Amino acid sequence: MWDFETDPEYQADLDWVTDFVREEVEPLQYVIPHVLDLDDPVRQALIPPLQQQVKDRGLWATHLGPDLGGKGHGQVKLALLNEILGAVPIAPIVFGCQAPDSGNAEILAHYGTAEHKRTYLQPLLDGNIFSCFSMTEPQGGSDPKEFTTSAVLDGDEWVINGEKWFSSNARYAEFLIVMVVTEPDAAPYQQQSMIIVPITTPGVEILRNVGHGFGDQDGTHAYIRYNDVRVAQENLLGGRGEAFVVAQTRLGGGRIHHAMRTVGMARAALEMMCERAVSRRTQGELLSKKQLVQEMVAESWIDLEQFRLLVLQTAWKIDRYQDYKRVRGDISAVKAAMPGVLHRIASRALQVHGSLGITEEMPFMGMISNAYHLGLADGPTEVHKVTLARTLLSQATPTEGLFPTTHRPAAREAAVAKYADVLAHAGRPA
């Protein structure tokens, strides 16, 4: 079976989502400054009714299995949905599939106790609270083996000390999932554990909320200090020393979900580029008549379609194998390709818009800044290229002889020997 079509029933849902996002969700970004701010009365008046419409339509948190209140649609259908949501940054909140909450829900579902699920998972799935994944530290991000934030058991409580950097959405989160060293004497990948910390726990100190790019003073990436933070022993998520295994559960899905949304954002940039090209005149003709502009349009389409197929095929493999380890190389390929695709397409769209393109009146600078975000968050591009390369190289076999197995002289010799009778019959010399 080899099929590129969406089934008509789901296509009808996607058509509904396209109209709904354009008409009901997109305008909200101009009246709601922080979509996660549950204390904003405008946000509270406008977002929950839309979330209810999504729930009524059966499209809320569809990536989750029915046991968690979702539809269990899997990754391919989620990809097709996320392509639409990706063009509007607040849309995933309205559909209950935003990062980092979707990944955090995934690990709570996998490793949480009944109490964790009742207290944290259910309200998260209902869209009533937000969460934060607190892993990166000021002195080390790409290599988690550099982390030093520690938790020591004192009676029946963990006591946490250390600093975390770029803990996104901590200021709006009800709880943090913190990666901490609990087994300092174990092997490097068994030293750390995950612990749930309610944000109001004494000793959790947000030193500042860091923004990124231009004009993002009011940031959402927290620099946090944990000062003798005490939580119950039961707040351990997964086993002691299992943080790396737990983290992989959320990061695999998280990376591909970002890629699905990136398809939507890059497509929006391409559409804007085309609209501008057929609207703006210079030297007596439309920009769309200039071959160098046509090249930008064509290159962007090629970039986008190649990337989209890679994302969809990887999503299909996740659904098919149900094993993130088996698709690790594929996800790393998607992750490594993603920033470049968005960066190139958004940059061309900016260029075609001229001076207007660089202003804050258009979204291109934000998209380009987002491309850098995608090249860092959930691991930098370099690390993912290495992961992919290692996967591919682990499947390669060394040759026994001096020359490659594809060396033409040897191949020719073998072919001549194989067809010696025919060649002799035709009177062709070997």
Q: Which is nearer to ligand FAD, 62 or 98 (CB)?
A: 98
Work out whether 193 is an interface residue with ligand FAD (CB under 6 A).
Answer: no
The single residue among 166, 175, 324, 364 that binds ligand FAD, judged by CB under 6 A, is 166
Q: Sketch the per residue contact string, 17 through 56, with ligand FAD: x for CB under 6 A, - otherwise.
A: ----------------------------------------
CA distance 2 to 226: 52
Taking the complex as a whole, the smallest distance from the CB of residue 228 to ligand FAD amounts, in Å, to 21
Distance between CA atoms of residues 329 and 322, nearest Å? 15
Strand, helix or coil for residue 165:
strand
Residues 213 and 220: their CA atoms lie apart, in Å, by 12
State which residue, 243 or 312, has the beta carbon closest to ligand FAD.
243
Closer CB to ligand FAD, 136 or 235, in the complex: 136
Stretch that binds ligand FAD, among 10-18, 160-168, 193-201, 388-396 (CB under 6 A): 160-168
Name the DSSP class of 147. -
Q: In whole angstroms, give the CA distance from residue 397 to residue 387.
A: 18
Which of residues 167 and 192 has its CB atom nearest to ligand FAD in the complex? 167
Q: How many residues bind ligand FAD (CB under 6 A)?
A: 21
Nearer to ligand FAD, 297 or 341 (CB): 341
Residue 121, CA atoms < 13 Å, CB-side half-sphere: 21
Residue 175, classified by CB atoms within 10 Å of its CB into exposed (0-12), middle (13-18) or buried (19+), is: buried
Q: Segment near ligand FAD (CB under 6 A), from 132-140, 248-256, 318-326, 342-350?
A: 132-140
Select from 135, 266, 277, 352 the one that contacts ligand FAD (CB under 6 A). Answer: 135
- Decide whether 178 or 273 has the Cβ nearer to ligand FAD: 178
CA atoms within 13 A on the CB side of 371: 20
Q: Please say whether the beta carbons of 172 and 43 come within 8 A.
A: no
In the chain, the largest separation of any two C-alpha atoms, in whole Å, equals 92
Q: Which 168-187 residues touch ligand FAD, going by CB under 6 A?
A: 168
Write down the least CB distance from residue 324 to ligand FAD, Å.
Answer: 18
Burial bucket for residue 190 (CB in 10 Å: 0-12, 13-18, 19+): middle
Within 327-386, which residues bind ligand FAD (CB under 6 A)?
Answer: 373, 376-377, 379-380, 382-383, 386
Task: Check binding of 167 to ligand FAD (CB under 6 A).
Answer: yes
Residue whose C-beta lies closest to ligand FAD: 141
Which value, in Å, is the radius of gyration of the alpha carbons in the chain?
Answer: 25
181 vs 193: CA distance, rounded Å? 6
Amino acid (one-letter) located at 220 = T
CA gap 264, 270 in Å, rounded: 10
Residue placing its CB nearer to ligand FAD in the complex, 54 or 338: 338
Binding site for ligand FAD (CB under 6 A): 100, 133-136, 140-142, 166-168, 212, 221, 373, 376-377, 379-380, 382-383, 386
